Structure 1
Amino acid sequence: MSSSFAPPAEHRLLGIALALAAYLMFAGIDSSAKWLGLVGISAVQIVFIRYAIHLAMVAAIHLPRYGRNLVRTGSMKLQLLRAATLLGSTVGNFLALQYLPLTVTGAIAFTVPLMICALSVPMLGETVGWRRWSAIGIGFLGVLVIVRPGTDAFHPAALLSLGAALSTAFYMLFTRRVSGLDSAATSQFYVAVFATVSLLPLVSFHWSWPTTPDGWFAFFAVGIFGFAGHQLITMAAGLAPASVLAPFAYFQIIFLSAASWLVFNQPPDIWLYLGAPIVIGSGLYIWLRERSLSKPVTGVATEH
């Protein structure tokens, strides 16, 4: 009789539902950030708002429960590296959103599993065979189809989006290393406090208040969506294995496409329809390959 615990089927279904809700929240972060940029709020302020509200909610909900244990960590170095890489991802993504449609930044973000697979060789000492290296290469060909470098359609902000994806890949690897040391609440606290404190000296030079109801909605929503998304994905991970949840992260591109079309009147173009399936297919192949090799499944959620 196996000693391993397999969550009941209904728990897995609930985990999938919570994960889908989390990916909807992550799409809400990007949509709110893009809207704030359109109404004249600077990228520095948008990032600060996203983490300051997140920090306030983490403190209000978790501090009464955990007390001083909320700030105790098994590795301050890993927590700070993790927080710095997530901040870098958020800055790069929010800057890119000022120039690119949600669909483009979202599709580029799905290169994260490809980057994690490649980085696992030097950072985790894992072995990656020729099949997964081929999938990584094909996935980045899909990115080239989407951004079309060398043409009039190419925008340099795509490089910011790729940089954000790389930062997210490092963040996921650091998260994997710190997950056995600290609680999810402690990890949330450090990413929020690091970004808030880091940006506090700069944000006063870039501050402006929204002047419209929709601007005020996005002002608060960008932080609330961030906190809610992190909470939901943490709850989902406790109900279903990562190998079950991983493929559902690609639903995020559907949420982003809907927001891009309905909110910003930027429907996906033909190149996204051609390139995104290549990127997503490569990521899914790597997921299937790692699952068959019984390795930790590459994370694909984009948490900004």
Structure 2
Amino acid sequence: MTHETRPPAPAPAAATATTPATPAYPAQRILLGIVFMCLSGLLFPVMGGFAKILGADYSSLQVSWARAFGHIVFLLALFLPRYGLGILRTRRPGVQLLRSCMLFTSNLCHFFAITFIPIAKAAAISLTAPLIVALLAWPMLGERTTPGRVAALACGFLGVLIVIRPGSEVFHWASLLVLGSATCYAIYQILTRRIAGVDSPETSTVYSSVIGAFGMLLVLPFVWITPGSLFDIALFCGLGILGALGHWCVAKALGYAPANIVSPFQYFQLIGSVAVGWLFFRDWPDAGVWLGAAVIMAAGLWIGWSQTRKKPGA
């Protein structure tokens, strides 16, 4: 563990939170960041499968609330005995609340969308999140870009059009919700990177679901349906646990390495989503989804590779 909840420990890293990535990130730390991001890419598809099952009988608002509330309950039970109430202390409350709002909006859009389209198709569109991170990393983090990366971004969004295929018979409006979800999630990651050296990953992970867990209490009575079986209750609980673990992994990854390096490794989610879609719902992506996903992944991986290649001479 290189991040502690005690504020003095990560202080030297604070300057890197708002400046371009530099060789201050040792290779072994970058590797750890990649491992954590890949792990998150395995946890999220299972969470999505649970949400799709529940979405057939329950409101997406209730499903999103359960994911956020379970997230906080699970993490507080896990972290409070070790860190105490100090885990709730943040130096950037405004940024933390904005992160939480972006994550809740992203989850709500995604959970609602996958009640209409296959998980694998939604996952392919969600692959744009790393591209959006790369696009926003320049104005928001000061991480420089190049004409080559701009061209790669254009190719990546061409891949999105291949997956969505607007104007064709396979187009579904819910695909646009997934694109909105990916945009909100990219902003969430950028904000996570900005506070990576200010608050610990544990603190950031707890705060990431505050808006969804408590803000939703205002509307929850109007959409609430009492779970009808122990199986449904288990799925609702699983949403929070899987989401909490996944976003803790994201927070750790973005604390170990720059956003534009580790973000492309979210592509592991496509593999997990295809597996979950087949095992749970017998859905298999068509050729257009595979082709579009390949274009998006190639663009994102090229951006990540070009950034890593530049580092020795930075």
**Which TM bucket (shorter chain)?**
0.7 to 0.9
Query: Does 2:178 match 1:129?
Result: no
Structure 1 residues 149 and 236 mapped into 2: Cα distance closer, same or farther (>3 Å)? closer
Query: Does 2:271 match 1:254?
Result: yes
Deviation at 1:68, TM superposition (A): 2.9
Match for residue 27 of structure 1?
45
TM-score by length of 1: 0.86
Match for residue 10 of structure 2?
none
Judge conservation of contact 1:136–1:282 (CA < 8 Å) in 2. Answer: yes
CA RMSD of aligned residues (A): 2.7
Q: Within 5 A, what are the aligned runs for 1:270-285?
A: 270-285=287-302
Judge conservation of contact 2:201–2:255 (CA < 8 Å) in 1. Answer: no
Match for residue 56 of structure 1?
73
Choose the corresponding residue for 1:102, options 119, 129, 138. Answer: 119
CA distance in 1, matches of 2:254, 2:141: 22
Query: Does 2:226 match 1:209?
Result: yes
Q: SS of 1:100's equivalent?
A: coil
Match for residue 200 of structure 1?
217
Deviation at 1:45, TM superposition (A): 0.3
Structure 1 residues 233 and 159 mapped into 2: Cα distance closer, same or farther (>3 Å)? closer
Give me the identity figure in percent: 37
Q: SS of 2:156's equivalent?
A: helix
CA distance in 2, matches of 1:131, 1:3: 25
Deviation at 1:17, TM superposition (A): 5.9
Structure 1 residues 123 and 45 mapped into 2: Cα distance closer, same or farther (>3 Å)? same
Amino acid at match of 2:292: G
Q: What are structure 2's unaligned runs of at least 5 residues?
A: 1-22
Match for residue 182 of structure 1?
199
CA distance in 2, matches of 1:6, 1:20: 17
TM-score by length of 2: 0.84
Deviation at 1:244, TM superposition (A): 7.8
Judge conservation of contact 2:227–2:233 (CA < 8 Å) in 1. Answer: yes
Judge conservation of contact 1:23–1:251 (CA < 8 Å) in 2. Answer: yes
Q: Which moved more, 1:214-223 or 1:28-37?
A: 214-223
Deviation at 1:123, TM superposition (A): 2.4
Match for residue 98 of structure 2?
81
Q: Which moved more, 1:205-214 or 1:128-137?
A: 205-214
Structure 1 residues 276 and 230 mapped into 2: Cα distance closer, same or farther (>3 Å)? same
Judge conservation of contact 1:25–1:228 (CA < 8 Å) in 2. Answer: yes
CA distance in 2, matches of 1:126, 1:233: 19
Q: SS of 1:180's equivalent?
A: coil
Judge conservation of contact 2:25–2:257 (CA < 8 Å) in 1. Answer: no
Judge conservation of contact 2:97–2:207 (CA < 8 Å) in 1. Answer: yes
* Deviations 1:234-274, CA, capped at 9 Å, x for gaps: 56678888788555432221110011112112111111121
CA distance in 2, matches of 1:217, 1:44: 18
Match for residue 111 of structure 1?
128
Structure 1 residues 275 and 6 mapped into 2: Cα distance closer, same or farther (>3 Å)? closer
Match for residue 45 of structure 1?
62
CA distance in 2, matches of 1:134, 1:195: 36
Deviation at 1:100, TM superposition (A): 1.1
Match for residue 120 of structure 1?
137
Q: SS of 2:281's equivalent?
A: coil
CA distance in 1, matches of 2:160, 2:258: 29
Deviation at 1:227, TM superposition (A): 1.7
Match for residue 8 of structure 2?
none
